[in-house]
Amino acid sequence: MNERETDVLVLGSGIAGLTYALKAAAHGTVAIVTKKERAVSSTNYAQGGIAAVMAPEDEPALHVRDTLVAGAGLCHTQAVLALVAEGPDRVHDLIDWGVRFSRSGDDFSFGREGGHSRRRILHAGDFTGKEIERALLQAVADHPRIDLCEDTVAIDLLVGRDHTGRPRAGGALVLDHRAGTLQTIHARVTLIATGGIGQAYRHTTNPEIATGDGVAMAARAGAAVANLEFVQFHPTALYPAEQRAFLISEAVRGEGAVLRTIEGDLLPIDHALGSLAPRDIVARHIDRYMKDSGAPHAMLDLSPIDHAEIRDRFPGILAETAARGLDILTAPIPVVPAAHYACGGVMTDGDGRTTIPGLYAAGEVACTGVHGANRLASNSLLEAVVYSHRASEQVASEIAITCRDAVVRTPPRNGSAGTGTGTLADLRGRIRDLMWEKAGIVRHTAQLEEAREELSALLGEIEAIRTVTPLEPEAVEARNLACVAELVVRCAIGRRESRGLHHNEDYPYRDNERFLRDTVIEAGGSET
C-alpha cells in the first residue's frame, strides 16, 4: 500500500473544500481528494446564488430573522449571526478569486427566493455554482502548495493518538480507482467537505457523487452527527425526474412564477407568501396535491415574467427545457419535489471542529446549526464560505500537533450479516426506493421502523459483497448510502413531532417542550 504525507487533507472539491484549501495553503501543504473530475460537485449545479446583505435596502437583522423563521426554532442563533455578519467579506473573497456575479449597471443584480424578505441573492445568471467552481478551480490550479487528486475516493478516516494519548484524526485511506491502488494519506489536519446525501433518495437534484460519504465515514470513525432527519426536498424539479433531476431554481418563483394544478388553477398553499413560501411548506403542498388528486406533477407558470427577463435571467433553464421539447415562454413547466439538501450532518462547533480533534467539516456535510430544521434558500453557499474560512483560521495551531499510529477504526456492525445475493446496483436502487417511500417528504412511525430494519439487512448484503469482490468505488458508495440512510431514519424515529422538513403524520404538531433541541447521534451510536 502506498503512503504519503501532507499538512492538510481536504476531502471534496466543492465550494467549501476549495475555499478552505486556498486559505489553509498559507500555513502548509494541502492535498485535495475528489472522487470524480474536479468540477463534479453539488456546487457546480447550484443555480440560484449566494445570499448576503449587500443591497442598500437590505439589513443584517432581516437576513437573521428570515433564517431563524425558516429554521423553525432550531437554528443556533450565534451561528446565524456569524453567517450574516461575515457573509459580505466572504463574498468579496470569491470576487477576489475571480467569480463574476451578474450586475445591473455598476451594481450587483440581486435576486429573491422563498423565505427572503428582501432581494439579496447574488448570482451569475442561473449558472452561479458553475461560475464559482470555475474561479476557485483556477485559483487552486495556480497555487503551488495545493495538489488536487481526481478520481480518488476516500474509504475511511484514519484515527490515531496525540502526544497526550487522546484520539486524533490523522488523514484517510483512499482508493485511486483509475489505477486500482490503495493509498494512506497521513495528515495533521483533515477537512471533510464531501457534500450531501441526495442519492439516498429515488429523485434528487444532487449529482451522482452525493452518496453521503463524509457523514458515513465520520460516523464510523466516532464523530457525532446531528439533525439528519431534516432533508430538504426542492419543490420544483423538472418532471419526469431522472436519476439527477434538473432543478428549476426557486429564483424563478422569486421573479413572479406561480404554482398551478394540472387543470390550471392556482395551487392552494396555506402561507402568506404563497408560491414563495419556505421550501418545506411548498414541497408538502405539492406532495399532498399529487397524492390527493393522483396527478403525476404540478405546474410552474412563468407567464407573469417578461420573456426578455426569462431569457436574460434563466438561460440555463430555458436551454434545458427546450432540449426536452418544452417552450416555457408559452407553457407551464411540469414539476415535482426532489431530495435537494441535508440540513444535518457531521456536528461541528463555530469553527468547523467535529467531536474528533484534528477533524473538521464544512459545507453541506456539516451541521453548523445555521439551518436548523429547514434551510433558507441560498444560505448554503454562504455557509460553506463562512465556515470553511473559520475552519481555515485554526490550521496554523492544528498542524503543530502530531498524530501517532493513525489507522482505520471501523466499529463492528450490529444487525443482519447478509448473503450478498443482489448486485451493488440493485442494492443501491433498493435503498433509494425505500427512503423515498418510507422516509421521504411525509413520514409515519411504523414505516420508519420498517425502513430501519430493512436498511440494516441491506447494509449486511453490501458488506457481504465487499468481502468477496475487489475493492471498487461502487461498493464504497453503496456502503456509505446504506449507512447514512440508516442514520437519517434513526434521527427521524427519535423526533416525535413535526417541525420544518421533518413531518410525521403520527405527530403532526411541534413539541417545544421535548424537542426544541438537536437530534444527536454520539460516538458508538447512542442517541441524545
Active site residues: 279
Which residues are bridge partners to 190 per DSSP?
Answer: 9, 359
Long-range Cβ contact pairs of 172-175 (< 8 A, separation 24 or more) = 172/9, 172/11, 172/33, 172/217, 173/408, 174/33, 174/149, 175/471, 175/473, 175/476
Cis peptide before 235 (omega within 30 of 0): no
DSSP assignment string, 4-65: EEEEEEEE--SHHHHHHHHHHTTTS-EEEE-SS-TT-SHHHH--S-EE-S-STT--HHHHHH
Q: CA-to-CA distance for 349 and 369, rounded, in angstroms? A: 8
| 269, 285 Cβ separation under 8 angstroms | yes
Instruction: Please give the grid coordinates belonging to residue 69.
Output: 423563521
Q: CA-to-CA distance for 365 and 206, rounded, in angstroms? A: 13
Question: Which sign does the torsion angle of CA 39, 365, 128, 248 carry?
Answer: positive
Query: Who's near 265: CB < 8 A, 6+ residues apart?
Result: none
